[in-house]
Amino acid sequence: MTSIDGEQSSLVPHCELCSTAMTLIGRLPRISLQPSVQVFRCLSCNHVVSAEHRLSAPSGEATARGG
Ligand SMILES: [Zn+2]
């Protein structure tokens, strides 16, 4: 039997035009409250997209409890 790989961890997005794995060409630092933005480029059709690199943190208002 062959073990089927469940999900493949792909850090880079795929081009929405030709479905090709995009390459990280740049990264913008976070400005003010906005998260850092990563710029990906498709080497196939030169399509450029920007993806916000959001951290998986359940940001919530600090519930200050006390009496
Ligand atoms: Zn493309």
Kindly list the protein residues that place their beta carbon closer than 5 angstroms to ligand 1, a single-atom ion: 15, 17-18, 20, 42, 44-45, 47
Counted domains in the chain: 1
Contact 25, 40 (CB under 8 A): yes
User: What's the 7 CA to ligand 1 centre distance in angstroms?
Assistant: 22
Range of the domain at 28: 23-52
> Is residue 54 classed as helix, strand or coil in its secondary structure?
coil
pLDDT value of position 52: 83
pLDDT value of position 45: 98
Regarding predicted confidence, which is higher, 30 or 19?
A: 19
CA distance 67 to 56: 32
pLDDT value of position 53: 73
Tell whether 34 is covered by a domain: yes
What tens digit of pLDDT does each residue of 30-67 get? 888 888 889 999 999 999 999 887 665 555 555 666 65
Contact 31, 5 (CB under 8 A): no
Tell whether 17 is covered by a domain: no
Tell whether 35 is covered by a domain: yes
The pTM of the full predicted model, rounded to 2 decimals, is 0.59
Strand-pair category, 37-41 with 48-52: antiparallel
Strand-pair category, 37-41 with 23-28: antiparallel
